[in-house]
Chain A
Amino acid sequence: MYYKFSGFTQRLTGAVSSSAYSPQGLRSTIPSESPTIIFTTPTKLVSESSAAVEYMGGNKVPDLQRIFQASDEIPVHLKRGVPDRLLYRTTMALTVGGALYCLVALYIAAQPKNK
């Protein structure tokens, strides 16, 4: 009976002779010296490196932080200017219009049905 240490169960388990004579991870076909360990690649400037280095786009958070932290007393929901104003005005128009339409609809719905 041959034994090996199972990395999965963390116990000794039964094995065939081939794995006993060549423990996990060490096989005669693979050279014994490991490749040089690379801890880090040298830092490259974003301007030097190719676009592929930025995985799915660059970091725009610092620019956005600058925009939103500007001391201009504008509330956060309007701080981006035109697109915010457009969306706000559309929403408010639907709100006021919708509320009035709702009141009219409820008034009509409350009328008794004519026989």
Chain B
Amino acid sequence: MAHQAHAYHMVDPSPWPLTGAIAALLMTSGLAVWFHFHSTTLMTLGLILLLLTMHQWWRDIIREGTFQGHHTPPVQKGLRYGMILFITSEVFFFLGFFWAFYHSSLAPTPELGGCWPPTGITPLDPFEVPLLNTAVLLASGVTVTWTHHSIMEGERKQAIQSLTLTILLGLYFTALQAMEYYEAPFTIADGVYGSTFFVATGFHGLHVIIGSTFLAVCLLRQIQYHFTSEHHFGFEAAAWYWHFVDVVWLFLYVSIYWWGS
């Protein structure tokens, strides 16, 4: 191992930024080809390449941190900044969809009947499955905090069990939401109500799936003894992301499901 007179991480040359960029090219061009020529080959190839890139890139980060010891305190600080900035960018992403919802719902046009919900739309009852979903995500916020404290206190079994419970709650939310989507009396094509509802909740659902996957990876790492009571930033990043997903849902629930019904 080369010796360095500083605490920062000079990464080995890596092919994954290139493969990731090509994956993005393939996915976007593939989308256009699908729309115009009805072939999904290029887009699927892009997706496979994206998955391969993500797997190997993040695998390498785990190797560099846990096995090679490159994640010194200043390096970890940088990773923290990075995750915070990424989550902030996601907040702005959702802010746009909330803006769209409030733009349309605060001043409903005559075409909608001058009211919100628009004429002809039967909104979902906010006190049925959506309320259950709220309870599920809030509970998962508690269990993930339990996991964090277990890791910090060196309680291996409790950490594994509470993290598993968190992931199961996340999957339960996804299943419930999928069922709601299937059973809903309106579709994405039902005017601006359908558009704002399904795009906002749809992107949120995607983030729940991403967050659950991140937590699942942390579960595997916790089982394999990667985390110590002092150093477990991968898990902290996953927990931050999960809390963010939870908060977005609370805003969605209050705005679209409750106020908007």
Q: Could you tell me which A residues sit within 8 Å of B by CB distance?
A: 55-57, 59-61, 64-65, 67-69, 71, 75-77, 79, 87-88, 90-92, 94-95, 98-99, 101-102, 105-106, 109
Shortest beta-carbon distance from A99 to chain B in Å: 5
Residues of A within 8 A of B56 (CB): 77, 87-88, 91
User: Are B68 and A76 interface neighbours, CB within 8 A?
Assistant: yes
Interface centre among A77, A90, A106, A109 (most CB of B within 10 A): A77
Chain A, Cβ-Cβ closest to B19: A95
Chain B interface bracket (under 10, 10 to 19, 20 to 34, 35 or more): 35 or more
22 CB-based A-B contacts, threshold 8 Å: A55-B156, A55-B160, A60-B225, A61-B224, A64-B67, A68-B67, A75-B12, A75-B14, A76-B64, A77-B14, A77-B60, A88-B15, A91-B56, A94-B45, A94-B48, A95-B19, A98-B45, A98-B46, A99-B26, A102-B25, A102-B26, A106-B29
Apart from A60-B224, A77-B60: 17 A-B pairs, beta carbons within 8 A: A55-B157, A56-B160, A57-B223, A61-B67, A64-B67, A68-B63, A75-B14, A76-B12, A91-B19, A92-B19, A94-B19, A95-B22, A99-B25, A102-B25, A102-B42, A105-B33, A109-B36
In the complex with contacts A68-B68, A69-B1, A75-B12, A61-B63 CB distance below 8 A: no
Instruction: Select the residue from A61, A88, A92, A95 with max chain B CB neighbours within 10 A.
Output: A95
Cα–Cα distance between A112 and B52 once the two chains are bound (Å): 35
A residues near B67, Cβ cutoff 8 Å? 61, 64-65, 67-69
> B residues within 8 A CB of A68?
63, 67-68
Chain A's nearest CB lies how many Å from the CB of B246? Answer: 25
List the 3 closest A-B pairs by CB distance, nearest first: A68-B67, A75-B12, A59-B225
Residues of B within 8 A of A71 (CB): 1
Q: By the criterion CB–CB under 8 Å, are A101 and B45 in contact?
A: yes
Please give the distance in Å from B4's CB to the nearest CB on chain A. Answer: 14
Indicate whether B129 reaches chain A with its CB closer than 8 angstroms.
no
Contacts of A79 in B (CB 8 A): 63
Contacts of A106 in B (CB 8 A): 29
Q: A77 to B1, Cβ gap below 8 A? A: no
Q: Is B81 an interface residue (CB 8 A)?
A: no
Contacts of B160 in A (CB 8 A): 55-56
Q: Is the pair A69, B49 in contact by a Cβ cutoff of 8 Å?
A: no
Smallest CB–CB gap between B30 and chain A, Å?
Answer: 8
Bound together, the chains give a CA A68 to CA B70 distance in angstroms of 12
* Set B25, B53, B223, B226: member contacting A91, Cβ < 8 A: B53
Interfacial residues of chain B within 25-51, with CB under 8 A of chain A in the complex: 25-26, 29-30, 32-33, 36-37, 42, 45-46, 48-49
A82 shortest CB reach to chain B, Å: 15
CA gap between A55 and B22 in the complex, in Å: 42
Which residues in B have their C-beta under 8 angstroms from that of A98? 22-23, 26, 42, 45-46, 49
Min C-beta distance of B145 to chain A, whole Å: 20
Shortest beta-carbon distance from A78 to chain B in Å: 9
B16 located at the interface, meaning its Cβ lies under 8 Å from any Cβ of chain A in the complex: yes
**Which B residues lie within 8 Å of A57 (CB)?**
223-224
- A101 contact set on B, CB distance < 8 A: 42, 45
Query: B66 at the A/B interface (Cβ < 8 Å)?
Result: yes
Which chain A positions have C-beta within 8 A of B224? 57, 59-61
Contact A95 B18 (CB under 8 A): yes
Q: Are A61 and B16 in contact (CB-based, < 8 A)?
A: no
